[in-house]
Amino acid sequence: MFKKDPIFWWASGIFILALLLFAMTQNQLWLALMIGSYLLRPTLASLGFAKRYVDERQLSLHYRSSNIAFVVMIIACVIFAAKLNAEGNHAWEIFNMIIIIGLAVKALFNVVLAKNLREGATKIIIAAGLLITLFAGMDSLKQEFLGLIMNLMPGLAIIGLGILSRYFPRLIAVFVFLITIALEIVIFSKGLNWAQIGTAFIVGVPLLIAGVCLYLPDKSEIRVTPELCE
Task: List, for residues 165-195, the tens digit of each pLDDT value.
Answer: 888 888 988 988 998 888 788 877 777 766 6
Average pLDDT over residues 212-219: 76
Q: Which helix (H) or strand (E) holds 38?
A: helix 33-46
The C-alpha angle 157, 94, 74, rounded to 5 degrees, equals 90
Residues in the chain: 230
Whole-angstrom Cα distance, residue 78 to residue 68?
Answer: 16
Q: What is the DSSP string of 179-204?
A: HHHHHHHHHHHT--SHHHHHHHHHHH
Amino acid at 54: V
Burial of 121 (0-12, 13-18, 19+ CB in 10 A): buried
Q: Report the candidate in 212, 214, 209, 203 with the shortest Cα–Cα distance to residue 131.
A: 203
User: pTM, whole model, 2 decimals?
Assistant: 0.60
Whole-angstrom Cα distance, residue 54 to residue 56?
Answer: 7
Confidence of residue 141 (pLDDT cuts 50, 70, 90): low
Q: Which helix (H) or strand (E) holds 13?
A: helix 6-25
Whole-angstrom Cα distance, residue 19 to residue 158?
Answer: 47
Confidence of residue 228 (pLDDT cuts 50, 70, 90): very low
Average pLDDT over residues 11-34: 84
